[in-house]
Structure 1
């Protein structure tokens, strides 16, 4: 009941003409970010962050979360009409969405995608509403050893559950840790890894890193692919949307299953991309007609879209309640909270309840606004992709560098953004994950501070991480996740040996 009362207070904060206008503006910008190749939700949010510095935190986070929802919807639009995933998490939507569009069912495919995405997002927000206060209250029992154990679980889960090569994930994290340690040490006050460059005394801004990694890096890949846009025209009519909505309940099992997968992958660091692929695979495996998948099966659109948006919403729970981002976009938003002077974690619920519950309430409203807005603007944003890439590409580069310069007004930051663009390009070409690197940059220094404070308390003894039942349990979970790839490989090897013996 306390959560319901807090949510009602949140609605009183979120429902205003100013905030509704920000939601619409954020969704429209997000759709543009999702539609344009070379941009994505993390980069779009990072480009908008400097513009929010003069806004109050509630308005700023409403704008950014609405942009995030819009970017996810924009990626779905291009996946279905052009067979071009505007977001990595929209790749699975192309498998059946574009075949449906080629069969003359573009309106049905878009309506299924947007309505199921709204359902998934709503499921994620309900979870946040129900669990956020409990998680935050539980986390108030934490001291520095427990916080380090939680950070350790986060890093270990990226290795054990992230889907990428564990070795490559560790390398990406180590790069992020190194970048996070540049500048002034918060504990000793000494200067680290500046190599004589005074401009690095304040460290490397994660915003500039994200702009380079996701903006410039993705654009370099797009240029290399020689992307050409040949899409299918679509005009969404209200009657078609209502007829498609009437069909949606028959897919209730796929909706619930995909929402559960998305919520789990959002809370853990699997993220929307892994959630959409896993949900698609589960839908195909459990279908009575798996041969229809890839040929325009409606469930092949519903499943990845529901999981994608459920994961995007649920990723906000660990970010708000524990100060641990569950996705790359959540990591960027968490950086924004710190820039605005807010400290993500359990104390945020007691220090700024208006902010927390205003944000949660705005997530309900923002997703409704996003579904309505994206259905109304599909033809407009689809037409943008008919502009030659030779015009769009340079415009994206200009926007990225303007965003990088706006962060601190330093010309040197433009070179840093360019360097990160080359790193992002290399990471993508070599199949190294970028999200663990961003995560390490955002919370690496916090994990280091928690570890060093724990060592000071225990006079250098690692036994402090096993000093009580709570921290021991957390560390045990972290170690299990860390060694999960080895455990899985050992089990598969033993099964293979058992099969060879019986054969």
Structure 2
């Protein structure tokens, strides 16, 4: 313990130096608005701001960029809750319950839940990062393709087995997402797949953010306009010290799912190429599965906001672990951070802890302060965010539409994605009318490429033998639980049918 405590104290002192602390506060504030802007997100934000860091020493530079990353994780919830548009792909799951809470006049409570849950997840992840960095990195390396595929199957099974909705529609939604995930170039042969009408824009696949903004931004706007004819009463929400005090009493209702989601998010974040988006979706599915009232999710359940926010914050810290200890980026944003470190003359890997301990522990120390600064900024700005909801929908709808257009164009800057986003908006509206769940499709398009890559790598290494998924202990456990979850609703339906038939009294008795 002392071997960790002494360098950590040095790192905390380093983070409190005037330049580093100033960069940290500025980074958190910028990150908050970067995360809240649809289509921008932490990846673009860090990439745009990378040149700024050449003006300061490497310690201050990494602290600034990490603070932007951290702040963006907090900020993504803002537009998800207030407008129903995911600020970033990591905040898509927050829309599921955050937006209904805002529409029910509880936007301040939803934003407070997101901020405090993010703080809980961030705190758990930073402590784990400090105590178990090298061992956890080594354990993550034991996760081969077979274990990764089994984990993805478990995520799908959670939605099917414990979703609480129509099983056939849920499976159909997942299949739609998986089909969309296969569009583009084959990951092994490089040959085109599902290039509709030979349109060149499909070669780079379907951008997840384009799908998310189309379905949850355009689709939700169309649905609201149809239901209300544009006459939406503004929800007057008071956001002040009184609402904060009231919310403090409610923290105990979601502290457990937020903590569990933080643990899950941190572990998923450690896995190379996983990141915060799958972590948030998986945490939402897990929390819904473990809830006593799963039917309330998607209708404004506070736990449905807390779980993904805790998970994406924890995953953002977790994704830094393989970058620092192994030189393997755990997410697209950490890949940019890795590039920055190389430009600054630092070589990430196991030797970084011994060759540049001041740099590493300064970064770790800054994460503690970034977590505190981000939650304070977020809570302080809630009254500003809530004012958005006081606008009439006839004013708000064009603003939402413009933000969707900007968000859909920003990732790839092609008109193809813009038209695709509008198409997904119509599809999202139709799915809503037909009562199809959208969340499983969103999960599938995120996890589909990861699952396909893991499946094909596993089968290539085993020369096509599918037993590889049950021969390895971890993957076998995940697969058995996944199969059990798939079978559970069918077994439950059979048991209920049999019980009902046994209650039928034969005629003549």
Q: Same fold (TM over 0.5)?
A: yes
Q: CA RMSD in A?
A: 4.7
Q: Does the Cα contact within 8 Å between 2:38 and 2:407 map onto a contact in 1?
A: no
Report the equivalent of 1:216: 218
TM-fit CA distance, 1:194? 0.8
8 A contact 2:170–2:440 mirrored in 1 = yes
Number of aligned residue pairs? 432
**Corresponding position of 1:123:** 120
The CA deviation string for residues 151-173 of structure 1, in whole angstroms up to 9 with x for no partner, is 22222223223444332232222
Q: Say whether residues 1:313 and 2:313 are aligned partners.
A: no
Cα deviation, residue 398, structure 1: 1.9
Residues 375 and 341 of structure 1, relative CA distance in 2, 3 Å threshold = closer
Partner of 1:53: 47
Q: 1:311 to 1:19 in 2, by over 3 A?
A: same
Mean Cα deviation higher: 190-199 or 364-373:
364-373
Report the CA distance shift for 1:148/1:425 in structure 2 as closer, same or farther (over 3 A): same
Equivalent of 1:199 in 198, 201, 207: 201
**8 Å Cα contact 2:145/2:457 also seen in 1:** yes
Q: Which residue of 2 aligns with 1:27?
A: 32
- Provide, for residues 5-48 of structure 1, a one-character-per-residue CA deviation record: whole Å limited to 9, x for no partner: 89778866795423322322443566xx5xxxxxxxxx836567
- The residue that corresponds to 2:431 in the other structure is 427
2:472 alignment partner in structure 1: 468
Q: Which moved more, 1:56-65 or 1:481-490?
A: 56-65
**What CA deviation, in whole Å up to 9, does each residue of 1:180-203 have, x standing for no partner?**
222211211211111322222222
User: Paired residue for 1:480?
Assistant: 484
How many Å apart are 1:262 and its aligned residue? 3.4
Distance 1:93 1:203, change over 3 A: closer
Take 2:307 and 2:63, find their aligned partners in 1: how far apart are those partners?
22
Decide which of 439, 443, 450 is 2:447's aligned counterpart.
443
Give the deviation of 1:383 after TM superposition: 3.7
Structure 1 residue 184 corresponds to structure 2 residue 185:
yes
The answer for the alignment partner of 2:98 in structure 1 is 90
CA 1:445/1:371 → structure 2, altered by over 3 Å: closer, same or farther?
closer
Tell me: CA distance 1:457–1:76, structure 2 relative to 1, closer, same or farther (3 Å): closer
Question: Which residue in the other structure is 2:153 paired with?
Answer: 152
Distance 1:91 1:203, change over 3 A: closer
Q: 1:54 aligns to what SS in structure 2?
A: helix
| Map 1:59-458 → 2, pairs under 5 A | 62-63=67-68, 65-70=70-75, 72=77, 87-90=95-98, 118-130=115-127, 133=133, 136-195=137-196, 196-225=198-227, 226-232=230-236, 234=238, 236=240, 240=242, 244=245, 248=248, 251=249, 255-264=251-260, 267=264, 269=281, 271=283, 275=287, 305=302, 308-317=305-314, 365=369, 368-458=372-462
Structure 2 unaligned regions, length at least 5: 51-61, 85-93, 265-278, 321-329, 340-347
After superposition, give the CA deviation of every residue in 1:382-441 in whole Å (9 maximum; x if it has no partner): 443343322322222222222322322322222111111112222222233333323322
CA distance in 1, matches of 2:8, 2:161: 35
- SS of the residue 1:476 aligns to: helix
Moved more, 142-151 or 304-313: 304-313
Distance 1:9 1:500 in 2: 74
